[in-house]
Structure 1
Amino acid sequence: MSQEAAPAAVGFVGLGMMGLPMARCLLAKGFSLVACDSEATARAALAEDAPEGKLEFADTPAALAARVSLIILMLPNSEVVAAVCEGADGLVPALRQGTLVLDMGSSVPGETRRLAALADAKGAALMDAPVSGSVVKARAGTLAIMIGGGDAGFAQAEQVLRAMGEKIIRTGTVGSAHAMKALNNYVYAAGLLAASEAVIMAEKLGLDLRVFTDVLNASSGRNVATETKLRQEIIPGRYAGGFQLGLMRKDLETAGAIAAETGVSAEALALCRTLWDGALGELGPKADNTEIHRILAAKATS
């Protein structure tokens, strides 16, 4: 990408497990960044291999908003997003006419819509653009990105999004992308739960688990968990799929908020939430989400 083709600078708030490789990806593709993160170690990690003259830091979200017209948020949850947007030295009061904020984390759709209205009152815009994919895909710029919002905002964001993702899916109005991401991750969790229980039963029957995995993947039981988690992580007991239990639980809680908003009882979702809450209590938020199998297996032998 030539210097003329890239925006003068992109703001980036949140240099965590996914944010750091995403920011590095943008730098590698020729974008200039103004970054903001409260952790000195995160700032140092981004600065370590940054191209000369391409990276600056802002002390606060407000200071960042004064310097750029496109801001990416990659933050843990809606509570943190609200604090960054509305807290002391927050983004929203400092937003300028025409600024676009992209919330690329996994937030509650109702909160996304509320913050979008605040941005709109400032003559700016906030769109939701959550990602799907691992840290490996974040490094490679091959994430799937869902984006909710209007045509003008999408046109403003598209070049930056395509630098980080290989599949961009427009989902509708603001908040729709966060809703679809949460519901997608609920379906994934349900598939992982079913696959884990099925493998436990197959093992107790003395079945060859690798052959059983082949049967699932050639038949109607196939899902992303059977394709990418059973043989790779669960059967060998490696449990390193790259998605933390705490993040899985957060997405299930967001799906639960959607169930409450829509008045759907969602009994299977309630079961998933209960089981992941239990696993989180036993293993902690940083354990891999595939360890739900280990929790279930322990219960099966007790």
Structure 2
Amino acid sequence: MADRAGPVGFIGLGMMGLPMARSLMARGFAVLACDSSAAALAALAEGAPAGALATAPTPAAVAAGAEVVVLMLPTSRIVAEVMEGKDGLLPALRPGMLVIDMGSSEPAETRRLAEAAAARGARIMDAPVSGSVAKAKTGTLAIMCGGDDATFAQAEPVLRGMGEAIIRTGAVGSAHAMKALNNFVYAAGLLATAEALRMGEALGLDLNILSDVMNASSGRNIATETKAKQEIIPGRYAGGFQLGLMRKDLETAGSIATETGTDSPSLALCRALWSEAVAMLGPKVDNTEIHRFLGRRAGG
């Protein structure tokens, strides 16, 4: 059993953060939660075990009451605001504290904040997740972890309250880099799947059989396996990951390409198409709506 002596601070109760915080409480952790949304805090309180939940008005107040603080925030800009803004975490960090950034932040920004935290005797680990809202609800996420041995040892009990597959990736910042590159590969597979389904439809093919063919053959990928029949073909478009967040991860991958001087034409194509899709459909729609975007783009 993990050490449950003190609460885990948790900042960011969005689509993924809310079930992740609930998973921690279900596994015996007390949570000290902070979110700008009163509705999100109220939703977390519903069904919370007695004595398992407290709330804090600011990130600094979370730091005052917890030794380990989880961030589940959508962008590096918001992470920086929570860390360095008014009543932020950074000035309130104490020696020995750990901040776990579980969003999909920019690796260079993660390294910068880790250096700032280290100057106060604290640590930052990047631990982005892979998996759907359903996996967040069951505490079976895959979690990538960037940090040294001491940081991982401090974080591991908390991470196992939310995830099943824990993968160490190297130094701080490496997990955010790998998450961005992984999501680029996913986006490329989703785009190819959506285009293939559009072409199959134009030919009058049975799209469910086309999906079966791809899943039994070399075209198989996570999009053909979990998005084609489930979300795209029936027009449900509810895979659980926003189009705008996909675009953001592609931009992070683009910053890695620039930093490393890597020629990446397929990444450039994905970035351009996802940006066009966000402009047309808005950032809040599901990422599987890239299929609907392709149809509208072609005038269909």
Relative to the length of structure 1, the TM-score reads 0.97
Offset at residue 299 of structure 1 (A): 2.9
Find out whether 1:266 has 2:264 as its counterpart.
Answer: yes
The worse-fitting range, judged by mean Cα deviation, of 231-240 and 125-134 is 231-240
**Residues in 1 aligned to 2:104 and 2:195: alpha-carbon distance in whole angstroms:** 27
Find out whether 1:190 has 2:210 as its counterpart.
Answer: no
Offset at residue 5 of structure 1 (A): 4.0
- SS of equivalent residue, structure 2 residue 125: strand
- SS of equivalent residue, structure 1 residue 239: coil
Offset at residue 170 of structure 1 (A): 0.2
- Contact 2:34/2:58 (8 A) holds in 1: yes
Match of 1:98 in 2: 96
Q: Among all aligned residue pairs of Structure 1 and Structure 2, give the percentage whose two residues are the same amino acid.
A: 69
- SS of equivalent residue, structure 1 residue 256: helix
The worse-fitting range, judged by mean Cα deviation, of 196-205 and 152-161 is 196-205
Match of 2:86 in 1: 88
Unaligned runs of 5+ in 1: none
**Residues in 1 aligned to 2:241 and 2:53: alpha-carbon distance in whole angstroms:** 28
Find out whether 1:121 has 2:119 as its counterpart.
Answer: yes
Letter in 2 for 1:120: A
Find out whether 1:211 has 2:237 as its counterpart.
Answer: no
Match of 1:145 in 2: 143
Offset at residue 107 of structure 1 (A): 0.1
- Counterpart pick for 2:199 among 198, 201, 219: 201
- SS of equivalent residue, structure 1 residue 22: helix
Cα deviation digits, residues 161-190 of structure 1 (max 9, x gap): 111001000000000000000110000000
Change (3 A) 1:7 1:255: farther
Cα deviation digits, residues 139-182 of structure 1 (max 9, x gap): 10000000000000111111111110010000000000000001
Change (3 A) 1:219 1:7: farther
Offset at residue 298 of structure 1 (A): 2.6
Offset at residue 231 of structure 1 (A): 1.1
Offset at residue 58 of structure 1 (A): 1.3
Offset at residue 118 of structure 1 (A): 0.4
Structure 1 segments of 4 or more deviating over 6 A? none
RMSD of aligned residue pairs (Cα, Å): 1.2
Match of 2:20 in 1: 22
- Contact 2:3/2:157 (8 A) holds in 1: no
Cα deviation digits, residues 189-226 of structure 1 (max 9, x gap): 00010111111111212222111111111111110011
Unaligned runs of 5+ in 2: none
Offset at residue 6 of structure 1 (A): 2.1
Offset at residue 7 of structure 1 (A): 3.8
- Counterpart pick for 1:49 among 47, 52, 56: 47
**Residues in 1 aligned to 2:208 and 2:53: alpha-carbon distance in whole angstroms:** 48
Letter in 2 for 1:234: I
- SS of equivalent residue, structure 1 residue 12: strand
- Counterpart pick for 2:175 among 158, 167, 177: 177
Q: How many residues align?
A: 300
- SS of equivalent residue, structure 1 residue 211: helix
**Residues in 2 aligned to 1:66 and 1:242: alpha-carbon distance in whole angstroms:** 34
Offset at residue 241 of structure 1 (A): 1.0
Offset at residue 301 of structure 1 (A): 4.3
